[in-house]
Amino acid sequence: MELDILRQEPAPTEVGSYFVANYPPFSAWSRDHVAAARAALASAPESPPAWAAAGDVPKPAVPPLGLYLHIPFCRKRCKFCYFRVYTDKNAADVDSYMDALAREIALYSAQPRFAGRQFEFVYFGGGTPSFLSSEQLKRLVGRINEHWRWDAAREVTFECEPGTLQKSKLETIRSIGVTRLSLGVEHFDDELLESNGRAHKSKEIYRAWDWVREVGFPQVNIDLIAGMVGESDEKWRFAVDEALKLQPDSLTIYQMELPHNAVFSKEQQASGQRLVATWAEKRAWVDYAFRQFEAAGYVVSSGYTLLKPSPDARFVYRDSLWHGADMVGTGVASFSHVAGVHYQNLDKWEDYIPTVQRGELPIARALPISRHQALIRELILQLKLGSVATQYFDQKFAARVAEDFAEPLRSLQSEGWLDRVNGEIRLTRGGLLKVDELLARFFEPQFRGVRYT
């Protein structure tokens, strides 16, 4: 049976973060380094990043710049969710937060590091950005436009939950310059959606899809999650078949994990019972979806994504970040990366809003990274694409990747997870499907085995 292809490793899904989003791990960031973040923001645009300050590498060009806006509101909290979201805020609370978000972006527009720079990408994430009404969204963007615009952005992404959409709201979303709509479908089985705490049902997906296509966006992405609690071979095939019928421009498939603060994680720890399928089962499901979409003309573009080839088929947000772009993360608990310094905003509502209202950037913790750490960060993130050219890293970081990482490369190749061909490191399909599990081999010794978040 084709879904058995990757079931040779019956490792259970234990509680703990799996998806690698950055390096060094977030748990290494601290308040002690907040001054480094402020210094990075006060530097000139052409100043080298912190890791290049010693002059040991060629001076890099000014990197692309992105903006992330965290909209932390949801109709309902999913049982697998670990993000900073709120389901209990009224209209006045939402307006208060939107005011703080606009103020924060205005504060950033005045920072010397961003003088004269335009956004390459903008990302409305959550939470649920489509939780906002059309009027709230228009007011927010109007406030932002007083200080900073994204007219020149190559990509503006907006995340949506199907049940929050109407055609008029989608028209507003398109009018603010959104080029890539990302629809959080996750699955098409109503029983499974409900048992996992999703706010929408399948009928809302199909209704929203018709409106999305009528309004017209250059790129429409849908998300699926392989291995939601209650998943089966039959249900997953159904989900893949329904997704194929929609013919999205791109597809993102996540493998269910159990971060420490999710409802399901607490339930599993309390009961001692396994709630989520094994990693081998989830990888087999993703592999099945990849092959079905590939047969329909799609191309695998990372361990989680497929694209239907077209001029608008791209993930600018992902590719820019994974190649060292600066990104300003705004909103409660958001993460940023600027001039070789990682930092995160205050993660509590009652701290974030008053701080911004006082005219202060709400930075809570930070970490300036070394040249070697910047190299590791880009290498592991770009490996998620399936292949990397070592020459890129050798030139940018004055490194020798083949020598610096000889041991992890040797071990992964001997185990069948990657091949090395003419200066390229290429993950096998099996390696790509479990890429996050493999990346820790490239970490510095002090960060191996530590809690990621």
CATH number of the domain at 309, please.
3.20.20.70
| Structural domain for 211, as ranges | 2-321
Q: Is the pLDDT of residue 5 over 50?
A: no
pLDDT tens digits, residue range 234-258?
999 999 999 999 999 999 999 988 8
Residue 434 domain-assigned (yes or no): no
Residue 236 and residue 244 in contact, taking contact as beta carbons nearer than 8 Å: no
Residue 314 domain-assigned (yes or no): yes
pLDDT tens digits, residue range 253-284?
999 888 878 887 787 888 888 888 899 999 99
Kind of pairing between the strands at 65-71 and 121-126: parallel
**Phi and psi dihedrals of 20, rounded to 5?**
-95, 115
String of DSSP letters for 160-184:
E-GGG--HHHHHHHHHTT--EEEEE
Predicted pLDDT at 54 = 61
Distances (CA, A) of 124 to 96, 314, 334, 440: 18, 17, 12, 29
Residue 341 domain-assigned (yes or no): no
Total domains present in the chain: 1
The arithmetic mean of pLDDT across residues 342-360, rounded, is 97
Residue 396 domain-assigned (yes or no): no
Q: Is the pLDDT of residue 325 over 70?
A: yes
Distances (CA, A) of 424 to 95, 180, 343, 389, 391: 50, 30, 32, 4, 8
Residue 337 domain-assigned (yes or no): no
pTM > 0.85? yes
CA distance 326 to 84: 22
Residue 164 domain-assigned (yes or no): yes
Residue 347 domain-assigned (yes or no): no
Confidence of residue 9 (pLDDT cuts 50, 70, 90): low
- What is residue 102's three-state secondary structure? helix
The enclosing H or E element of 74 equals none
Q: Is the pLDDT of residue 233 over 80?
A: yes
Residue 94 and residue 101 in contact, taking contact as beta carbons nearer than 8 Å: no
Residue 373 domain-assigned (yes or no): no
The arithmetic mean of pLDDT across residues 176-204, rounded, is 96
Distances (CA, A) of 161 to 123, 125, 141, 167, 282: 15, 11, 20, 13, 23
Q: Is the pLDDT of residue 138 over 90?
A: yes
Q: Is the pLDDT of residue 122 over 90?
A: yes
Confidence of residue 205 (pLDDT cuts 50, 70, 90): very high
